[in-house]
Amino acid sequence: VHFVESGGGSVQAGGSLRLSCAVSGDTFSRLCMAWFRAIPGAERERVAAIDRDGTTSYVDSVKGRFTISKDAAKNTLYLQMNSLKPEDTAMYYCGADPNTDFCTVLPGYYIGLDFWGAGIQVTISS
């Protein structure tokens, strides 16, 4: 599975960005897909996931502000980020896997994605 991420950048707090992740190399409809993020020196953390049937999940820190979606016609995963905060500053990664049993970022579940994009920087200034 291969990814081309785009849409990152720098905005002021309260602004919006939309990340895109074009996916190739596997049947799009088979994939569990998710967005993670990481700051330097910290482990990658979950943000949002979308299952094959469109079921979505979010971590509490982004719920109500971020929306994960996908467009099967374009083989593209999205993350619409609104009301951005300085603490959202991170490198954002899209990930996918056709074999994930639990396609969710909810606590207590291991999403287990094996395929990752290179990451895209998002910087929010106060």
Residue 25: the pLDDT is: 85
C-alpha distance from residue 54 to each of 8, 75, 83, 122, 126 (Å): 24, 14, 24, 25, 34
pLDDT in tens, 47-88: 999 999 999 999 999 999 999 999 999 999 999 999 999 999
Inform me whether the pLDDT recorded for 26 exceeds 90.
no
Indicate the average pLDDT of the chain: 95
Q: Nearest to residue 26, comparing CAs of 68, 73, 75?
A: 75
Query: Per-residue pLDDT averaged across 39-52, rounded?
Result: 94
Q: How far apart are the first and last CA of the chain?
A: 36
pLDDT in tens, 92-106: 999 999 999 999 999
Residue 101's contacts (CB-CB under 8 Å, 6 or more residues apart) are 112
